């Protein structure tokens, strides 16, 4: 009887261990890929500056006929919600937008450290938002704290066409800079799958007046690699770029994801490179 009790107790122990969670070996994926590129235009276009005032956009859409984007207007509110200024120039309809179940203008808004407001336009909704497919060009407008238009740039892009053209694969503000990533127009983006060997990539960094202050590329394509994120460092007037690549290395049980990191100066010269992984 004692033996039966002991063995049954141990049976309970074994069953519990069997059903409990255990550490298991797994692949580690560096979370540097953007599975939702160019959708920043769908974010709220409302931001407060260091002065506490909020800048936001009114997007106008047609309510009759086939519908469509008609343009945007900038408003400036004080912290109490009082309108204290408006943009002196409205964004025209040529920027483009989506009018339907969702209504989005193809514009990103950022308030800079000096209380100016920069609007970045992507001409084409991008693959995830439709409205024209690929993004062929970008432009910027900058208003001062009172809503006066003080600078504009673009629209600028690269020669279009599937065999020798470039599309804008990603475009977003990092701090007061706009980071624009170009890749060949015949390569898929935003498909939700990791496609290795894409490129070559070219990345531009634009300051809040629309000046191009850093350019790197073309880089790649590299077998087994895909470009993930690009971050900035160094001076605001000539920032360095840190490129994060995802690669698949090794074979069999040693196969895994690795992170390759390259640093370039603002003129595109390589400064350093290092690889981490794969970890399994």
CA distance 265 to 114: 25
Residue number with CB closer to other proteins (28 or 128): 28
Of the pair 129, 203, the CB lying nearest other proteins is at: 203
Task: Say whether residue 159 binds other proteins (CB under 8 A).
Answer: yes
Q: What is the dihedral of CA 60, 61, 63, 68, to 10 degrees?
A: 160
Q: Which residues contact 272 (CB under 8 A, 6 or more apart)?
A: 261, 262, 263
Query: Nearer Cβ to other proteins, position 129 or 138?
Result: 138
Q: Which is nearer to other proteins, 98 or 219 (CB)?
A: 219
User: Which residue in 84, 57, 35, 74 sits closest to 188, CA to CA?
Assistant: 35
Buried b / exposed e across 76-96, counting CB within 10 Å, b at 16+? bbeeeeeeebebeeebebebb
Which residues make Cβ contacts (< 8 Å) with residue 79, sequence separation at least 6?
A: 52, 53, 54
**Contact flag: residue 127 with other proteins (CB under 8 A):** no
Residue with tokens 């470039």: 166
Q: Would you say 129 and 98 are in contact if contact means Cβ atoms under 8 Å apart?
A: yes
276 counts as binding other proteins under rule CB under 8 A: yes
Give the nearest distance from C-beta 37 to other proteins in angstroms. Answer: 18
CA–CA separation, 163 vs 142, rounded Å? 34
Q: Does 267 bind other proteins (CB under 8 A)?
A: yes
Going by their DSSP bridges, the two strands 54-61 and 46-48 should be labelled as antiparallel
How many angstroms separate the CA atoms of 191 and 127, rounded? 8
Handedness of CA 197, 202, 205, 209 (dihedral sign): negative
Q: Which of residues 60-89 bind other proteins (CB under 8 A)?
A: 60, 62-65, 70-71, 73, 75-76, 78, 81-89
Among 123, 181, 240, 246, binds other proteins (CB under 8 A): 123
144 binds other proteins (CB under 8 A): yes
**Nearest distance from C-beta of residue 280 to other proteins, angstroms:** 6
Nearest-approach distance from CB 207 to other proteins, in angstroms: 8
Q: Which of residues 86-105 bind other proteins (CB under 8 A)?
A: 86-95
254 binds other proteins (CB under 8 A): yes
Tokens in use for 219?
């880089």
Ranges within 197-236 binding other proteins (CB under 8 A): 197-200, 202, 207, 209-215, 217-225
Least distance to other proteins from the beta carbon of 236, Å? 9
Question: According to CB under 8 A, which one of 43, 133, 160, 235 is a site residue for other proteins?
Answer: 160
Q: How many chain residues touch other proteins (CB under 8 A)?
A: 127
Stretch that binds other proteins, among 42-50, 125-133, 157-165, 169-177 (CB under 8 A): 157-165
Whose tokens are 């006929």? That residue is: 65
Residue 8 in contact with other proteins, rule: CB under 8 A: yes
**Tokens encoding 257:** 């994801």
Task: Pick from 37, 49, 97, 147 the residue near other proteins by CB under 8 A.
Answer: 147
Q: Does 153 bind other proteins (CB under 8 A)?
A: yes
């Amino acid at each position: 009887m004692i033996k039966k009790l002991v063995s049954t107790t141990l049976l309970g122990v074994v069953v519990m261990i069997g059903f409990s969670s255990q550490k298991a070996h797994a692949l580690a994926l560096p979370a540097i890929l953007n599975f939702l590129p160019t959708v920043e235009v769908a974010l709220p276009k409302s931001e407060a500056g260091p002065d506490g005032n909020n800048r936001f956009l009114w997007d106008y859409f047609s309510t009759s006929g086939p519908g469509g984007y008609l343009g945007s207007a900038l408003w400036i509110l004080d912290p109490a919600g009082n309108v204290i200024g408006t943009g002196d120039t409205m964004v025209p309809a040529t920027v483009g937008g989506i009018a339907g179940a969702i209504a989005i203008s193809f514009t990103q808004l950022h308030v800079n450290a000096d209380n100016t407001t920069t609007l970045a336009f992507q001409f084409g909704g991008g693959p995830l938002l439709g409205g024209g497919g690929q993004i062929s060009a970008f432009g910027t407008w900058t208003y001062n704290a009172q809503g006066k238009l003080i600078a504009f740039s673009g629209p600028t892009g690269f020669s279009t066409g599937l065999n020798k053209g470039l599309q804008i694969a990603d475009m977003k503000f990092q701090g007061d800079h706009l980071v624009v990533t170009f890749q060949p127009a015949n390569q898929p983006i935003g498909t939700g799958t990791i496609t290795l060997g894409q490129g070559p990539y070219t990345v531009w960094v634009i300051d809040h007046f629309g000046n191009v202050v850093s350019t790197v590329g073309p880089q790649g394509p590299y077998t087994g690699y895909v470009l993930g994120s690009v971050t900035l460092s160094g001076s605001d007037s000539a920032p360095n770029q840190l490129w994060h690549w995802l690669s698949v290395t090794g074979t069999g049980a040693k196969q895994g994801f690795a992170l390759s990191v390259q640093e370039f100066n603002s003129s595109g010269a390589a400064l350093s490179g290092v690889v981490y992984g794969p970890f399994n």
